[in-house]
Structure 1
Amino acid sequence: MRRLFCLVGLALLASAGAQDLKKCGGVAGPPTWVRSGVYSGTLGPKAVTLALDRQNADANRYFYVGRAGDLRLTAFHSGETLILQEEVRKSLASASVVTGCFTLTRVDGVLRGSWKAPGAASPLKVSLEPLNVAQLPLKLPSSPGLLKLRRSDPLAFVKLNRAWAVALDTQSVREPLSGLTYPRVPGAGAALRAALQDRLLLNAVDALECVSSLPEDMLGEGYTLNATVTLLTPRLLSLREDVYYFCGGAHPDNFSVGLILDRMTGQPVPLAALWPSLTPSRLKTLYLAASAADPVSECDDVLRDMEGSYAVSLGSGGLTLTPDGLPHVYSACAESVTVPYGQLRRGANTASRYFADLYPK
């Protein structure tokens, strides 16, 4: 949730101030005939896909096919004509400026009209037809996350619904638009493959949102994912995701996610299913005991005052804990520690089907 709040906040900041702009004319808001939905077609010689949302003005946006970033739109109208004002931040310190004006009318369900950049000699022709996203064929294997994305964010679904490439070493797959990669697991069943696909989809959505939030002069920045398998046993798979991002806010940031999955079902395995005794307070005690922070350092004070919230993953040597709730200014204090399995054995769930994977005879 931390990264979603951050990225959504940045998207709102990116459009802040744009609501005071009015360079394309018209009255605020779309005409009454506009319905929420996705449209695809052409803007001049280029293919585009556009989303309109009557309930959420921040969801009005479009993208050029093959590009990662969205261009945000503010809706106006003049009579029955829909006017969409394209707004872009040129630099981090600047407010949004108007970079184009759509003027569209509805003809037999198709949006037709023009797009014109400020100062341009002549407009470009626009033709957009409704796109039934629910009926688009899946170009990835069906998975809960992919189907949810089609319902909740159809524009992102249109972007990401494309085949992924397998790396030459066959150890990872690559999502082509965001450029993010994710590990493959040899011999994984359909359920586990779906779970891993959904993790990459989730990160790819955040990466594209990050790119869309950046001003034009910072498009080399963005969202980097390093995902690794930390443990693979007959019944368990554990991974760690380390994300580094700069989406146009005050500073770059990072976070880590630990995952423990059932290798057969792909479902998360709660830490309490392995060690019922590992409450948040117990995790904090274990972390502080293993931490290398100097007892008189600022980090030691911060770590002792923090809530017991950690990214948790399994490795060959034990349980790895990384604080995931520290303020950015103290992020350097979030060192990972590993608690050996032997130290945790007394509190392990011996009846768990995973016990033998962690404590083989």
Structure 2
Amino acid sequence: MKNTLFCLLFLCLLFSFSSGQNKRYILEGNIGKSPVVFMLDDYGNNDLSAKYFYKSTLRDIRLEYEKAKNGDLIFSFADTYIKYKEKFVLKRKSTTVFEGIWKDSKNKELSVSLHEADLSQIKNPFLDSKYIQQLRKEAPENFIRSSYLVFRKDTVSGYNGHKADWYSEKFSKTSFMRISATEKSEAKNVINKKLFDLHLEMAINQLSCSNYSAYNDAEGIDYSTSISYWDSNLLGFSNFSSYFCGGAHPDFGSTGYLFDLHSGKEYELDDIIAFDKSVTTEAKTNFTAYSAYRSNFFAPNLAKLMIKQHQFEKPKDEEEDPCDYTNVEYWNFPSWTYTKEGIVFTPIFYRAARSCEDSFLLLFKTLMPYKNKDFKYQLK
């Protein structure tokens, strides 16, 4: 489930409002004396949505919209028990200038002043990050948010004679690894930049994980990172996340990573295992070719190996037992982790059967005949 969480949040948070009358306004200003960033999405036909964060906390607060008879724009945050906990009553002075009041459930009032954000004035300390440059183009509010992030080294861990430094981010409370400065890896700096980008993304996702009925406490996503392989050539680890950012149900997913310690290359699963000469990745060709290979060659062969090694049988009653590990389609896009013994695969089931998503090991000796000829390391 490569980058499942990150993709879901990216679609939710960075949706493009380019069609028709849709427009996103990124505003800065103050509620009383407190600096805020305010995001207003105008879909046309009097359909708006909004969210904002205080620069002191960086956590999104989602707001519901209603239009007053006098033309005021009213945005509020409420929960099950209180009609509203806070409310904005705004007047649009111009296209990108808003003024009004904020008040809480006890009728405390503060003045509100918002204007269009000027990204050229944002002093972001992470401009050499590819992820930050992506945010600048596609999610300006998160570009602003990221400029306030603070990372601190807090612990060191060991694995197979190697050391990893662990950093925590102040506002999101996320923790993630870097290759220790004492390691002699040729590509240490290259890989650490990629690991830093992953940590930035984790922090932004955590701070953006919000819904309409509860305040964001920076705990909506539970991350867990585990190093699974580390020798003189390769570093492998998995990043698991369980999360609830609104919607009908919580969700979860795992992403596996494998880095070449000499070149800094990040390997995809299909760079390692090839069941046919048509093997490809989405990045190398396109999703159509990638999906065709996965459906026609990867999934059938992987399912066959799994059935043989783990003695899977088709359930007699799929309504009673939906965990049919003999179903090839569940192996099309499994999540994976590169380990000392082999590769651990987790099939992806439909939403109602997500509890079936257990992990299963295929030993390297089983996978050896299918090693991608371009993968220069032995499967061991």
* TM-score greater than 0.5 by the shorter chain: yes
Q: Distance in 2 between matches of 1:140 and 1:163?
A: 11
Q: Distance in 2 between matches of 1:88 and 1:105?
A: 20
* Alignment length (residue pairs): 329
Unmatched segments (≥5 aa) in structure 2: 14-20, 157-163, 277-297
Out of 344, 360, 363, which is 1:320 matched to?
344
Number of the residue aligned with 1:302: 324
Number of the residue aligned with 2:292: none
Q: Is the 1:10–1:249 Cα contact (8 Å) retained in structure 2?
A: no
1:266–1:102 distance in 2 versus 1, CA, 3 Å: farther
Q: What SS does the corresponding residue of 1:125 show, helix, strand or coil? A: strand
Number of the residue aligned with 1:344: 367
Question: What does the per-residue CA deviation read over 1:192-228, in whole Å, with 9 as the maximum and x for residues that have no partner?
Answer: 2222122223333332332x11523895862101022
Question: What does the per-residue CA deviation read over 1:208-264, in whole Å, with 9 as the maximum and x for residues that have no partner?
Answer: 332x11523895862101022212234433221111123344443321112223335
1:292–1:239 distance in 2 versus 1, CA, 3 Å: farther
Question: Residue 155 in 1 paired to residue 141 in 2?
Answer: yes
Query: Aligned-pair distance for 1:145?
Result: 1.2
1:238–1:150 distance in 2 versus 1, CA, 3 Å: same
- In the alignment, residue 281 of structure 1 is paired with which amino acid? P
Q: What SS does the corresponding residue of 1:313 show, helix, strand or coil? A: strand
Question: Residue 38 in 1 paired to residue 26 in 2?
Answer: yes
Q: Distance in 2 between matches of 1:253 and 1:328?
A: 9
Query: Aligned-pair distance for 1:336?
Result: 1.2
Number of the residue aligned with 1:25: none
Q: What SS does the corresponding residue of 1:231 show, helix, strand or coil? A: strand
Out of 159, 162, 170, which is 1:176 matched to?
170
Q: Is the 2:322–2:353 Cα contact (8 Å) retained in structure 1?
A: no
Query: Aligned-pair distance for 1:143?
Result: 1.7
Q: Distance in 1 between matches of 2:68 and 2:217?
A: 32
Out of 143, 165, 180, which is 2:152 matched to?
165
- TM-score w.r.t. the length of structure 2 is 0.72
Q: Distance in 1 between matches of 2:151 and 2:48?
A: 29
Number of the residue aligned with 1:21: none
Give 1 or 2: higher helix fraction.
Answer: 1
Q: Distance in 2 between matches of 1:95 and 1:273?
A: 53
- TM-score w.r.t. the length of structure 1 is 0.75
Identical residues among aligned pairs (%): 20
1:145–1:109 distance in 2 versus 1, CA, 3 Å: closer
1:220–1:231 distance in 2 versus 1, CA, 3 Å: closer
Q: Distance in 2 between matches of 1:273 and 1:3?
A: 22
Out of 48, 55, 58, which is 2:36 matched to?
48
Q: Is the 1:193–1:266 Cα contact (8 Å) retained in structure 2?
A: no
1:219–1:248 distance in 2 versus 1, CA, 3 Å: farther
Out of 80, 104, 116, which is 1:130 matched to?
116
1:10–1:230 distance in 2 versus 1, CA, 3 Å: same
Q: What SS does the corresponding residue of 2:368 show, helix, strand or coil? A: helix
Out of 239, 245, 255, which is 2:243 matched to?
245
Q: What SS does the corresponding residue of 2:90 show, helix, strand or coil? A: strand
Out of 284, 308, 313, which is 2:303 matched to?
284
Q: Is the 1:164–1:174 Cα contact (8 Å) retained in structure 2?
A: yes
1:175–1:150 distance in 2 versus 1, CA, 3 Å: farther
Out of 109, 115, 128, which is 2:102 matched to?
115
Q: Is the 1:230–1:315 Cα contact (8 Å) retained in structure 2?
A: yes
Q: What SS does the corresponding residue of 1:277 show, helix, strand or coil? A: coil
1:327–1:300 distance in 2 versus 1, CA, 3 Å: closer
Out of 79, 89, 112, which is 1:90 matched to?
79
Query: Aligned-pair distance for 1:131?
Result: 2.3
Coordinate RMSD, CA, aligned: 3.8
Query: Aligned-pair distance for 1:269?
Result: 1.5
Q: Distance in 2 between matches of 1:66 and 1:51?
A: 17
1:85–1:107 distance in 2 versus 1, CA, 3 Å: closer
1:145–1:219 distance in 2 versus 1, CA, 3 Å: closer
- In the alignment, residue 258 of structure 1 is paired with which amino acid? G
- In the alignment, residue 343 of structure 2 is paired with which amino acid? L
Question: What does the per-residue CA deviation read over 1:34-82, in whole Å, with 9 as the maximum and x for residues that have no partner?
Answer: x854332221132211123445866632112233132325375889x8x
Number of the residue aligned with 1:142: 128
Query: Aligned-pair distance for 1:118?
Result: 6.7
Question: Residue 70 in 1 paired to residue 58 in 2?
Answer: no
Q: Distance in 2 between matches of 1:322 and 1:108?
A: 49
1:251–1:349 distance in 2 versus 1, CA, 3 Å: closer
Question: Residue 102 in 1 paired to residue 108 in 2?
Answer: no
Q: Distance in 2 between matches of 1:153 and 1:112?
A: 24
Out of 266, 269, 281, which is 1:268 matched to?
266
Query: Aligned-pair distance for 1:183?
Result: 1.6
Q: Distance in 2 between matches of 1:321 and 1:347?
A: 15
Q: Distance in 2 between matches of 1:224 and 1:6?
A: 15
